[in-house]
């Protein structure tokens, strides 16, 4: 892409790179998005009944006890003061400390995020690796046995709640077959195989419904490409094998919509962590988020939401950059040739 | 296992798909047969080995504030961890008796206003510092100053040490349940003052130091707590286990499947009746002894329950036996008062108690010109199912009921807002005057009471100020009769959860029932052994 700008000093070439300019613009645009997310979260947490002081002190708390702790935690201060205090801390690189445990939020994130991040990547990869070949097999012969079977499995996968699916997977693979652990997490540093095994069922519980969704989407798009596009007719007329037309031409074109959905669906992936991590007793950030919402620990909730929002923004930016890789005609920042 | 190892991968997948369908069908059909509980085998304890215990992430499996006695507001739920790390000054033993543990005894003097507690001599915290009267006094004083409402609610005038092994607590008035209330207050857990001062409160809450049977190896809040044997524990030969791991898991179903998969050996406090039936086929299931019966609190300060006729209509419209039979499989005994089988002064029958009489209920509703009730409860399964059943029963008497369930925070707001009408709650404790006892739900001074009656207050105060147990119990009988006479709130059944243990695991609370502290029992993990396998 930089070659189009002609000879230039290396530094200027990099800075002038359309991809980099796009990244810069998108990251700048992400600032109000991230701010909006944190603000809305703060508003929602404040709308919830109860507060951290009440939750910390428990059911026996007298109103005087609660008031005293509210003063200590600054929960008595006006909404805007508290939000500004939190926001200015973040702008200075300080995410604050948990209202419940007093632990710095950065150390909570450092301890929990790697587990969730690994699970997210694993679930994402599983969903894509399952969806793409199945969709291709289904689109190869619409109405054929592979298509009908994939349709049936996809519908079943989309109909089962993740919670039920998780329990079913445990029942089959941990209780009956005893090939994978039902609960717990093995750190990567302790055992690579153990780590993969400990995350396989949770990743399947998250990834399978997504794979079913992606399969239907990709299959429909590929069938449409195969049936109506001129380039497919041309390729066929040239004698290109049907599988090659499907994989090298139709699938490549279908990837645009697929990539967009992958980026947008990252939020679903993150949301599933909150449900799945406690079932599999994984010490991840989803479990912390759930507990913090329950405890009205607004500092931790804000930090986790901010990190998740940042991941979604970055993932969508990556998606946009991948468009250019898939289609060399796309040049960001310049009119299409 | 052997069969599966011989099959091909594709065959496994095919069979897995079949199993998936079968499992779905099994889920749809629900549980079948099984006994409600099976008693564990009595075997000789086995020293060594490890044990993994699962806890529900919604209650016992949450320790978000850490494990410092003075600041852990979930102490009642987290007693397994706290007891394992700190031990207990007094414990609620197998026969529903308070037993000195790290204390060796106590005595009342000065007409009951002075309590002298003797501390077991020669004990040390796991950091090597002495566990003595000074440490106990320092902890109790810290607990009393703590803003946490888990602190002891004694009328204390002073707490002092006499020598190295004696603690003297002077009270402003006689408070008979002071020793009983150790077991449900933070004063029972003694932290190392040296370690706490050295680490600071925040760090100490994450890596606490006590003199209990186990030592913290690692602590991931509300997720995993790994403990190892304390070789210098005061009781020789205890604990039996070398390693004890607590894991937080998302609910009864997930825990049950993890037990079936052999990845844990114990699950504390299961309360799903259908799963209890199934669990009894594979594990030792022990239903614990309740100390806190479910009751219906009525707000007598506002309509409609400021009218005794409305309260009487509720008594007459409620038939609790079918509810306990159909929903809870007759697991829990019925009661008409705030006492329960696991506690002191147990008296399930109250003379003159209004029992189910639909005709009387209908007549009263007619006299009132109709009765509409907002019925609330805490957001847990047993309580919610009870409110749904009550709604159905009351409808037969013409009572229109709206039901709601609340998480803890919103529930407390309902009480402090004082607009609530009726709440299904638990009332009672091992000692009715301690913890969430009768006063918590029926005393004028409690913000969680719907009753404001000086005569009842006087009865309850007399009882808590009486050292003689038989006189105290008579006073509680009178209080129960008075609550019934005034129709201040019906009592239903004595709920206590069950503990599930794999074969080979033995110990109090796991192979024999224990009385509950607050709502759940207190398993002494130092007395638990595991001769079976473990993934620990």
**Chain A residue closest in CA terms to B436:** A60
Q: CA B447 to CA A282: how far, in whole Å?
A: 38
Structure confidence at residue A140 (pLDDT)? 87
Residue whose token pair is 């207190």: B522
CB-count exposure of residue B202 (10 Å: 0-12, 13-18, 19+): middle
Structure confidence at residue A1 (pLDDT)? 36
Q: How far is A200 from chain B (nearest CA, A)?
A: 15
Q: How many CA atoms lie within 13 A of A120 on its CB side?
A: 25
Lowest mean pLDDT among A281-290, B98-107, B211-220, B323-332: B323-332
Q: CA B509 to CA B503: how far, in whole Å?
A: 14
CA distances from B451 to A76, A264, B355, B484 (A): 31, 55, 21, 12
Q: CA A124 to CA A202: how far, in whole Å?
A: 12
Give the CA-trace dihedral at A73, A79, A82, A85, to 10 degrees. -170
- Cβ within 8 Å, pair A167-B222: no
A·B CB contacts under 8 A: 166
Higher pLDDT, B78 or B13: B78
Q: CA A215 to CA A218: how far, in whole Å?
A: 5
Q: Give first-to-last CA distance, chain B, whole Å.
A: 21
Chain B residues 160-189 with a CB less than 8 Å from chain A: none
B23 pLDDT above the threshold of 60: no
Q: CA B61 to CA B438: how far, in whole Å?
A: 27
Q: How far is B66 from chain A (nearest CA, A)?
A: 6
- Rounded to 5, what percent of chain A is helix, strand, coil? 75, 0, 25
Q: Under a CB-based contact definition with an 8 Å cutoff, are residues B344 and B430 in contact? A: yes
Q: CA B139 to CA A255: how far, in whole Å?
A: 65
Closest CA to A301 of A47, A31, A30: A47
Closest CA to B15 of A167, A164, A169, A172: A172
pLDDT digits (tens, 9 = 90+) for B246-272: 999 988 999 999 999 999 999 999 988
Chain A residues 64-123 with a CB less than 8 Å from chain B: 65, 68-69, 72, 98, 100-103, 111
The angle, 0 to 180 degrees and rounded to 10, between the axes of the packed helices A298-326 and A18-47 is 150
Q: Under a CB-based contact definition with an 8 Å cutoff, are residues B211 and B189 in contact? A: no
What is the token pair recorded at A94? Answer: 């300080």
DSSP code, position B128:
S
DSSP code, position B54:
E
CA distances from B32 to A171, B21, B277, B280 (A): 17, 18, 8, 11
Q: Which residues of B touch A68 (CB under 8 A)?
A: 147
The SS3 of residue B167 is: strand
Beta-strand pair B156-162/B166-171:
antiparallel
**Chain B residue closest in CA terms to A63:** B416
Rg (CA), chain A: 24
- Cβ within 8 Å, pair A181-B223: no
B303 pLDDT above the threshold of 50: yes
Strand partners, B109: B114
Chain A residues 273-302 with a CB less than 8 Å from chain B: 277-283, 287-288, 291-292, 294-297
Task: Inform me whether the C-beta atom of residue B147 falls under 8 Å from chain A C-beta atoms.
Answer: yes
Residue B64 has its nearest CB partner, among A62, A69, A100, at A100
Structure confidence at residue B327 (pLDDT)? 85
pTM score: 0.84
Residue whose token pair is 């749904």: B388
Q: Which residues make Cβ contacts (< 8 Å) with residue A321, sequence separation at least 6?
A: A19, A22, A23
Beta-strand pair B156-162/B103-109:
unpaired
Q: CA A253 to CA A256: how far, in whole Å?
A: 6
Phi-psi region of B222 (alpha: psi -120 to 50; beta: other; left: phi over 0): left
Closest CA to B465 of B450, B475, B478, B452: B475
Task: Inform me whether the C-beta atom of residue A28 falls under 8 Å from chain B C-beta atoms.
Answer: no
- Cβ within 8 Å, pair B64-A297: yes
Lowest mean pLDDT among B160-164, B269-273, B523-527: B269-273
B363 pLDDT above the threshold of 70: yes
Structure confidence at residue A13 (pLDDT)? 54
Chain B residues 329-368 with a CB less than 8 Å from chain A: none
Structure confidence at residue A149 (pLDDT)? 93
Q: How far is A62 from chain B (nearest CA, A)?
A: 7
DSSP code, position B40:
P
Q: What is the mean pLDDT of residues B449-471?
A: 95
pLDDT digits (tens, 9 = 90+) for B138-151: 999 999 987 666 78
Q: How far is A177 from chain B (nearest CA, A)?
A: 7
């Amino acid at each position: 892409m930089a070659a189009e700008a002609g000879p230039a000093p290396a530094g200027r070439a990099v800075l002038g790179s359309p991809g980099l300019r796009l990244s810069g613009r998108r990251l700048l645009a992400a600032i109000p998005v991230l701010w909006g997310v944190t603000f809305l979260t703060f508003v929602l947490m404040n709308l919830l009944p109860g507060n951290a002081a009440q939750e910390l002190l428990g059911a026996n708390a007298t109103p005087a006890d609660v008031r005293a702790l509210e003063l200590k935690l600054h929960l008595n201060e006006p909404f805007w003061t508290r939000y500004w205090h939190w926001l200015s801390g973040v702008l200075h690189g300080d995410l604050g400390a948990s209202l419940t445990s007093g632990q710095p939020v950065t150390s909570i994130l450092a301890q929990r995020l790697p587990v969730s991040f690994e699970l997210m990547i694993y679930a994402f990869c599983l969903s894509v690796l399952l969806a793409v070949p199945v969709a291709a097999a289904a689109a190869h012969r619409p109405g054929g046995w592979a298509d009908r079977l994939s349709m049936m499995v996809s519908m079943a996968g989309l109909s089962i709640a993740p919670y039920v699916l998780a329990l079913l997977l445990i029942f089959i693979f941990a209780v009956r077959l005893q090939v994978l652990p039902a609960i717990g997490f093995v750190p990567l540093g302790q055992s690579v195989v153990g780590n993969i095994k400990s995350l396989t069922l949770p990743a399947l519980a998250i990834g399978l419904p997504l794979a079913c969704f992606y399969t239907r989407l990709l299959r429909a798009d590929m069938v449409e490409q195969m049936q109506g596009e001129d380039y497919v007719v041309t390729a066929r007329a040239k004698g290109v094998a049907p599988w090659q037309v499907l994989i090298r031409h139709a699938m490549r074109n279908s990837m645009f919509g697929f990539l967009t959905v992958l980026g947008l669906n990252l939020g679903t992936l993150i949301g599933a962590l909150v449900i799945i991590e406690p079932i599999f007793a994984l010490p991840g950030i989803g479990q912390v988020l759930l507990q913090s919402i329950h405890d009205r620990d607004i500092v931790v909730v804000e930090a986790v939401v901010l990190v998740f929002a940042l991941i979604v923004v970055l993932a969508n930016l990556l998606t946009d950059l991948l468009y250019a890789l898939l289609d060399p005609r796309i040049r960001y920042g310049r009119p299409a040739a | 296992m052997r069969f599966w190892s011989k099959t091909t991968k594709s065959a496994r997948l095919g069979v897995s798909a079949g199993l998936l369908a079968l499992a779905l069908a099994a889920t749809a059909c629900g549980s079948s047969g099984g006994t409600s509980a099976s008693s564990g085998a009595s075997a000789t304890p086995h020293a060594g080995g490890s044990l993994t215990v699962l806890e529900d992430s919604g209650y016992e499996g949450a320790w978000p504030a850490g494990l410092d006695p003075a600041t852990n507001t979930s102490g009642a739920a987290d007693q397994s961890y706290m007891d394992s790390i700190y031990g207990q000054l007094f414990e609620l033993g197998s026969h529903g008796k308070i037993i000195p543990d790290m204390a060796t005894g106590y005595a009342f003097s000065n007409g009951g206003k002075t309590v002298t507690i003797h501390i077991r001599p020669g004990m040390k915290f796991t950091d090597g510092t002495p566990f003595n009267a000074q440490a106990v006094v320092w902890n109790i004083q810290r607990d009393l100053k703590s803003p946490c409402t888990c602190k002891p609610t004694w009328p204390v005038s002073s707490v002092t040490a006499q020598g190295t092994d004696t603690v003297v607590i002077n009270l402003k008035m006689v408070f008979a349940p002071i020793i009983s209330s150790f077991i449900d207050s933070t004063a029972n857990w003694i932290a190392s003052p040296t370690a706490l001062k050295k680490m600071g409160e925040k760090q100490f809450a994450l890596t606490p130091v006590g003199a209990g049977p186990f030592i913290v190896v690692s602590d991931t809040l509300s997720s995993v707590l790994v403990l190892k044997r304390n070789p210098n524990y005061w009781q020789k030969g205890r604990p039996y286990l070398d390693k004890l791991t607590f894991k937080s898991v998302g609910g009864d179903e997930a825990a049950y499947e993890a037990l079936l998969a052999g990845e844990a050996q114990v699950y504390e406090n299961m309360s799903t009746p259908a799963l209890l039936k199934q669990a009894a086929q594979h594990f030792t299931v022990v239903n614990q002894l309740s100390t806190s019966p479910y009751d219906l609190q009525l707000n007598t300060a506002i309509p409609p329950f400021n009218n005794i006729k409305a309260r009487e209509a509720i008594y007459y419209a409620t038939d609790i036996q079918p509810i306990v039979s159909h929903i809870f499989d007759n697991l829990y005994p019925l009661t008409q008062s705030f006492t329960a089988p696991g506690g002191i002064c147990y008296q399930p029958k109250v003379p003159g108690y209004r029992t189910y009489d639909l005709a009387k209920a209908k007549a009263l509703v007619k006299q009132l010109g109709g009765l509409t009730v907002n019925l609330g409860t805490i957001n847990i399964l047993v309580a919610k199912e009870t409110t749904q059943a009550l709604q159905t029963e009351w409808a037969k008497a013409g009572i229109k009921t709206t039901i709601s369930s609340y998480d803890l925070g919103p529930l407390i707001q309902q009480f402090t807002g004082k607009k609530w009408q009726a709440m299904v709650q638990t009332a009672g404790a091992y000692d009715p005057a301690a913890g969430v006892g009768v006063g918590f739900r029926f005393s004028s001074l409690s913000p969680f009471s719907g009753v404001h009656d000086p005569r009842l207050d006087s009865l309850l105060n007399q009882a808590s100020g009486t050292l003689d147990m038989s006189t105290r119990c008579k006073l509680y009988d009178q209080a129960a009769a008075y609550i019934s006479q005034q129709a201040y709130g019906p009592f239903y059944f004595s709920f206590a959860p069950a503990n599930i243990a794999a074969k080979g695991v033995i110990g109090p609370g796991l192979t024999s029932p224990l009385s509950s502290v607050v709502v759940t029992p207190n398993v002494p993990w130092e007395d638990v052994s595991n001769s079976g396998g473990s993934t620990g």
